[in-house]
């Protein structure tokens, strides 16, 4: 994900990274070449003059803009819901850590070590959810945070975050059997674990239910048909300025189409997707700091790309 402070207007005109232009540069070049050819031949195909009234493109462009606005809103809703779910995960992780550290009565050295193992399981849960949403294994983090037995048990599992929640639940159950947790705290912790489960389900809902394919196909086809026919409609009225105007209009529509596709899948690894790795590192650093667990130096990135 790109996080960049807004700079002055002139620099904004030339920013490349994160602008999706790298995805659409070929399409724009093709349209620019087509516009120049159309201008050279004065809108003729062989000896036939293509008569397209600019009014037609005004009406189609208005309808297209409305439809693209609808699709953009739908995609951004998915993106923002994903961000809210991961924001809730940050809050719930810190709150659960605080409860375990302050409300479980086991001051022995073994109890302290057991709490540290529990907090590592919270971090492992976050990393496993990250990699499940991105269809990765993430074993380097699991082997670092979990016991060898737990890692071996997870090796052939598909829904690893859910299994790690079971590990967390089993740990809480053992503490309750040892009378280290009273019933009120136990109910509160169980409710917090239910919140973790709801976060997993919410993320899976976004990941497994993309925007309807028919919307994507219709939008994509309409944008490209519109842009490829646009030079024939504007060549007579704009003259030599036509290629520049067509390129500007095409950039607007094609770039918006690319952005809609990109943010509609917020858990990917493209420049404008959610920075899940950074969120996981933030959670791990935060809860380890709460528990005073030794850890590698945390080095916040200074890069604009923070995932």
Residues 257-282, mean pLDDT to the nearest whole number = 91
CA–CA gap between residue 298 and residue 284 (Å, rounded): 10
Mean pLDDT estimate for the chain: 88
CB 181 within 8 A of CB 175: yes
Arithmetic mean of pLDDT, 271-297: 88
Average pLDDT of span 24-30? 94
DSSP 114-176: HHHHHHHHHHHHHHHHHHHHTT---HHHHHHHS-HHHHHHHTT-S-HHHHHHHHHHHHHHHHH
Task: Read off the pLDDT band of 174 (50, 70, 90).
Answer: very high
Q: Average the pLDDT over 43-49 and give the result.
A: 81
Read off the pLDDT band of 48 (50, 70, 90). Answer: confident
pLDDT at 300 over 50: no
Report residue 296's pLDDT band, with 50, 70 and 90 as the boundaries.
low
**Which of these ranges, 1-5, 66-70, 159-163, 205-209, has the smallest mean pLDDT?**
1-5
Contact call for residues 232 and 43 (beta carbons, < 8 A): yes
pLDDT confidence tier of residue 45, bands split at 50, 70 and 90: confident
- d(CA 166, CA 256) in angstroms, rounded, equals 42
pLDDT of 304 reads: 40
Distance CA 16, CA 75 (A): 22
What is the percent of the chain with per-residue pLDDT over 70, rounded to a whole number? 91
Using the Cα atoms of residue 221, residue 207, residue 270 and residue 75 in order, give the sign of their dihedral: positive
pLDDT at 247 over 90: yes
Per-domain boundaries in the chain? 20-45+52-291
Predicted TM-score (pTM) of the model is 0.87
> Tens digit of pLDDT for each residue in 186-202?
999 999 999 999 999 99
> Tokens 């540069």 belong to which residue?
25
Tell the residue number behind the tokens 């953009």, with chain if given: 72
pLDDT for res 5: 62
The token pair at 204 is 């899976």
d(CA 155, CA 209): 26
What's the confidence (pLDDT) of residue 227? 93
pLDDT at 149: 93
According to the model, what pLDDT value does residue 52 have? 83
Instruction: For residues 97 and 289, give the distance between their C-alpha atoms in angstroms, rounded to a whole number.
Output: 10
Residue 136's pLDDT band, with cuts at 50, 70 and 90, is confident
Q: Which residue has the tokens 């993320």?
A: 203
Q: Using only C-alpha atoms, what is the Rg of the chain?
A: 27
């Amino acid at each position: 994900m790109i996080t960049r402070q807004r700079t002055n207007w002139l620099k904004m005109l030339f920013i490349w990274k994160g602008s999706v232009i790298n995805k659409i540069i070929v399409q724009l070049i093709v349209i620019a070449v087509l516009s120049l050819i159309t201008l050279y031949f004065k809108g003729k195909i062989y000896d036939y003059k293509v008569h397209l009234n600019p009014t037609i493109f005004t009406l189609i462009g208005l309808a297209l803009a409305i439809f693209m606005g609808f699709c953009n809103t739908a995609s951004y809703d998915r993106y923002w819901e994903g961000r809210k779910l991961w924001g809730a995960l940050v809050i719930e992780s810190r709150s659960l850590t605080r409860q375990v550290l302050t409300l479980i009565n086991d001051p022995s050295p073994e109890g302290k070590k057991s709490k540290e193992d529990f907090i590592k399981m919270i971090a492992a849960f976050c990393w496993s959810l990250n990699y499940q949403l991105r269809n990765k294994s993430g074993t380097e983090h699991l082997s670092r945070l979990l016991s060898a037995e737990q890692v071996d048990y997870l090796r052939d599992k598909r829904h690893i975050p859910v299994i790690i929640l079971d590990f967390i639940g089993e740990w809480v159950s053992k503490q309750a059997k040892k009378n280290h947790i009273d019933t009120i705290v136990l109910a509160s912790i169980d409710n917090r674990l239910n919140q973790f489960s709801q976060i997993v389900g919410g993320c899976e809902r976004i990941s497994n239910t993309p925007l309807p394919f028919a919307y994507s196909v219709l939008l994509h086809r309409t944008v490209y048909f519109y842009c490829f026919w646009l030079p024939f409609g504007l060549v007579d009225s704009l003259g030599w300025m036509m290629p520049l105007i067509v390129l500007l209009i095409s950039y607007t529509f094609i770039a918006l189409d690319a952005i809609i596709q990109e943010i509609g899948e917020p858990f990917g690894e493209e420049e404008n997707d959610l920075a899940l790795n950074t969120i996981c590192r933030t959670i791990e650093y935060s809860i380890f700091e709460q528990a005073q667990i030794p850890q590698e130096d945390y080095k916040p990135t200074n890069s604009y790309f923070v995932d």
